[in-house]
Amino acid sequence: MDTFGWKPAPNLTVTAGIKGNAMDSLASAVVDVERYAASKGWGQPPQLYALARKKTIPVTGQKIAILAGRQDDELISIEQDPLPPGEPDQVLASIHWPKEVEGCVLVTELLALPPDAEKEAPGDPAAVEKWAASRPDSKEARLAVGVLRDGSYTCCLQLRDDKELIISPELADDLVTALLVTFIPADTADPDVSPTAD
């Protein structure tokens, strides 16, 4: 289980029983992908999904995660091949999407910690996972981070054994940036991407 990418944020919106029509299309797609990932159970590796308009992607041979009830102009998610092992920012840096793909969602499991715990984290990234797992206040969680080609983004966090879903654009700034870079052509990639919250 990874501990990367989760940063506690103030003023989180905690929502239960979310309705798709109460959210914008990106937030709705991110929640749909998280629910699909939840149907596979816990203990899954990180998984990437492309977001595209139903009318622009041929579905032959593709795994459509969420399709029922979608209109041609709505975002749908397409499950991608498993990600290779490695640090997320390095793995994602090798991915570049075709023009038909308008966004993507990364789902990963991690250990969530209270906001004040970050001050006590060890400096060695290799030691962080063991340190987080040893803390009695850590909780297993599933994080879904979604971005669009236009720079908008949002995230949702599901704590294990909790029925409420936390939705906020401020949960994983480093993963947001890494995902946005996948939409910049490889020859013009700029590490100083400035994402905009959805």
SS (H, E, C) the chain: CECCCCCCCCCCEEECCCCHHHCCHHHHHHHHHHHHHHHCCCCCCCEEEEEEEHHHCCCCCCEEEECCCCCCCCEEEEECCCCCCCCHHHHHHCCCCCCCCCEEEEEEEEEECCHHHHHHCCCCHHHHHHHHHHCCCCEEEEEEEEEECCCEEEEEEEECCCCCEEEECCCCHHHHHHHHHCCCCHHHCCCCCCCEEC
Q: Is the confidence at residue 43, as pLDDT, over 80?
A: yes
Q: Is the confidence at residue 42, as pLDDT, over 90?
A: yes
Q: What is the pLDDT of residues 109-135, one digit of tens each?
A: 988 777 777 777 777 767 777 777 777
pLDDT the model gives residue 195:
43
Q: Mean per-residue pLDDT for 21-47?
A: 86
pTM: 0.75
Q: Where are the domains of the chain?
A: 13-185
pLDDT the model gives residue 60:
52
Higher pLDDT, 91 or 5: 91
Q: What is the pLDDT of residues 53-85, one digit of tens each?
A: 877 766 554 445 444 455 667 788 889 988 888
Q: What percentage of residues in the chain have a pLDDT greater than 90?
A: 30
